[in-house]
Every structure is written in C-alpha cells, then in structure tokens.
Chains A and B, each alone.
Chain A
Amino acid sequence: MGRNRLLDYEEGGHDLRVPLEDCYGGAREESGRTFVDVQFVTNSPLEAKARIELNFRVAALEGEMRQRRREMAIQGHRIAYLEAQLAQKNGQPTYAEAINARDAIEAFTRELFGNVSVTERDDEETAGDRHFVFHVNSAATIDDLIALSDKWHTEVASLPNRLSGLFRLSLDIAK
C-alpha cells in the first residue's frame, strides 16, 4: 500500500513520491512501480502526511474520472455500433446518416431556390413521424415552382429508401 511509504519519510525535503499500486491513474510507471508526484517539499511529517493523503484522494479521483471516461468512450462506440446494426435491420437511417443527408439536401435546396431554412417537425397526427422540413420563399410562377419542386423531389427520391422519407419541402409562395 502506498501509505506505508510514509513510514519511510525522511527529514530534509527528500523525495516524497509514493507508490500508487492501488490507484487507477494520475500516476506513471517507473522501475516497475507506479508513482505519483507530490508537488511540495516540507520538513513536517504531519503536513507531509496530510498532503500526501490529499494527493492520494485527488489522484484517485482523477484516475477514476479517466477510467470512467474510457468506459464511456467504449460504451459510446458500442452504442453507435448497436444503433447502426438496429437501424440496418429496421431499414432506418443512423443519426449520422440522417444529418449528412440533411446537410446535402440543404445545400441542394439553396442551390435550387436561392434560400432555405431547415426545421425538425413531428407529424401532428402520426406518432414517430419526425422529419426535416426545408422551407423556401419564392415569388416564381406556379409553373416554375412545379418544375423546381419536381427537381427537388427527384433528388430526394434518389436517396436510399431509409432516408428519402425524412425530407419535406415547404414553399412559402408570394401572393
């Protein structure tokens, strides 16, 4: 145990590094043992003990935090994998796929109509029908708008089936 090293404390500001076999992180390997640096020099054994214990607690907290973050990262990768597998089985897009497609359609819409704003919307009557709406303003003729709309929907229909249903066009037509 690291705390036993306190018994080895020597007067005169000697090396107060302590082994941390029982801590996760905040430490480093040296000569086959794990150490954490104690950032002070003191001649008082009591102060040294207090500070080392404090350092232990901080190092342990930091170590645990790093460990938990690693675990979270692993879980995050696992969740992303599961989401992708489930989406594939259900014929639905992953979140990343949907966002990438949304950005591409947004750019296409701006190119086609010269303006666009995007919102997310839930269908008022059908549960689970969340989608992106591309709002555009136009003063074009109805014939021109029908032609532009046809191009827009051709583009959306060319997406994989799991994505095409996510996108809707909303025209704010000038009177």
Chain B
Amino acid sequence: MNGTQFYSFAISLAKGPGPAEFRSCTSRAYYGAYHRARELIEHYGVSLPGGTEWHKKVRWILDQSNDAAIKKASAKLNSLRDARNDADYQLSDLQPENARSAEFNLRTAKEIIDLVDAYIASGKSPGRTAIREYSKDTLKLIVR
C-alpha cells in the first residue's frame, strides 16, 4: 500500500454520485498526496513516525527543502489539508459536496503526486540535503 493507491481510489469517488463520494474523494485525494510527500522524505533517508502531528511536520520538512517546487507542493498540501478537513468535519458546509470542488482537489493532489514521482524518478534528489539536515538537526529524526 502506498499513497498513490489512495489517489487511485479518490479518482473512482470523483464520479459521485452523492455527497459522501465527493467528500471522500477530497479526503482520499489529500491522503494520497500526503503519503506520497512522506514517501519523498523517506526516499531521502528520513524515518518519519506516524500520528496526526506529522501532517504538520511533513509540511515543515518540505518547506525547509530550499527547492521552489517542493515548497509550492507543500503550500498546496496545506490548502488541500483544509479542504480535507472541510470534507470530513464540516458536514453543514455544502462546498465539499460539489463535484467540481472534488475534481479540483483531485487535480491538486495529482500535481503534488506528479512532482514527487518526477523527483524520485530523476535520481537527482532536489532538496535532499536541506531536508535531511532539518529532519536530523531540528526535528531530531533518524536519518540513514
């Protein structure tokens, strides 16, 4: 199981037809992007613990990458996080039940996933040094 599988499931939910599918599409799209972002950090040799606080800290790590594209992906992951929270918690808010909203969030998740895929495939490891240093020195994580 990896983040991309959550994203694939989100694609199937984007067809609807009801509010539960559209809300779940956004939620799964976020988790697909979040786990793929974690996979980039782990690809750079950082061991990430689980737990809710790591949603925030994964974004902190990405922000410290000194790579403009990774920082932008982190900013998009931030916004997608709020969309996911709306979808899962704000049941009186009808925006997450909008098919176009679900499609937008799905595409945002895909942008993040595509970036991670491209960076891992490139073998050049952009942002690797900064991510490892911040993870080790500031967050006191195990770095291989």
Contacts and interface: CB of A to CB of B under 8 A. Distances in A.
Contact of B98 (A149, A170, A175): A175
A93 to B, nearest CB: 12
Contact of B74 (A126, A128, A164, A171): A164
A168 B104 contact: no
Contacts of A169: 79
Interface string B22-40: 0000000000000000000
A171 B80 CA distance: 10
A175 B64 contact: no
Interface in B102-136: 103-104, 107-108, 111
Interface string A97-124: 0000000000000000000000001011
B43 interface: no
Interface residues of B, number: 34
A175 B74 contact: no
Nearest to B54: A126
B85 interface: yes
Nearest to A175: B98
A149 B76 contact: yes
A165 B74 contact: yes
Contacts of A164: 63, 71, 74-75
Contact of B108 (A128, A149, A175): A149
Given A133-B82, A169-B79, A170-B83, A126 B138 contact: no
A145 interface: yes
B64 A142 contact: no
Contact of B85 (A123, A156, A174): A123
A107 to B, nearest CB: 18
Given A121-B82, A133-B82, A153-B79, A173 B100 contact: yes
A35 interface: no
Contacts, number: 88
A173 B81 CA distance: 17
A173 B100 CA distance: 7
B74 to A, nearest CB: 7
Interface in A125-175: 125-129, 131, 133, 142, 145-146, 149-150, 153-154, 156-158, 161, 164-165, 167-175
Contacts of B52: 125-126
B138 A157 contact: no
15 contacts: A123-B56, A126-B56, A131-B78, A133-B82, A146-B108, A146-B111, A153-B75, A153-B79, A157-B68, A157-B71, A161-B64, A161-B71, A165-B78, A168-B78, A171-B104
- Sort A-B residue pairs by CB-CB distance and give the 5 closest, nearest first: A157-B71, A157-B72, A153-B75, A169-B79, A168-B79
